[in-house]
Amino acid sequence: MRLSRAEIQVIKSTAAEVFGDQARVLLFGSRADDDRGGGDIDLMVEQHGLAGRALALAKIRFLASLKMRLGDQRIDLLMVPDNAQPQPIHQIARQSGVWL
């Protein structure tokens, strides 16, 4: 995993602030793999309770806070659907990813 401990802490605390203490964050993609290059931070967030407008706002605030704290960079956010069927991408992320 190619994120510093400080970066991991920022991601976890920002997720808790925005999505609640029960939310979990998974790092997947190239940053989860020590052998790969590439800069994008791919995150999957699992949370319960936020939907509609509150969820739309939370996603925006999460990404904005991360960029302000970690520096401007490509961060992609995938949400685990709360009340709907997961897609193949969620399964792939779980298989290759690391829960923070």
Quick one: CA torsion of 48, 49, 53, 58, rounded to 10 degrees? -50
Distance of CA 91 to the CA centre of its chain: 15
- Piece of the chain touching another protein by CB under 8 A; list 12-20, 27-35, 38-46, 48-56: 48-56
88 binds another protein (CB under 8 A): no
Q: What share of the chain is helix, strand, coil (3-state, %, to 5)?
A: 45, 20, 35
Of 55, 94, 96, 98, the one binding another protein by CB under 8 A: 55
3 binds another protein (CB under 8 A): no
Of 2, 12, 24, 59, the one binding another protein by CB under 8 A: 59
> What is the β-pairing status of strands 75-79 and 24-28?
unpaired
| Per-position x/- string for 5-44, each x denoting binding to another protein as judged by CB under 8 A, each - no binding | ----------------------------------------
How many other CB atoms sit within 10 Å of the CB of residue 78?
18
Residues binding another protein (CB under 8 A): 51-53, 55-57, 59-61, 63-64, 67-68, 71-72, 84
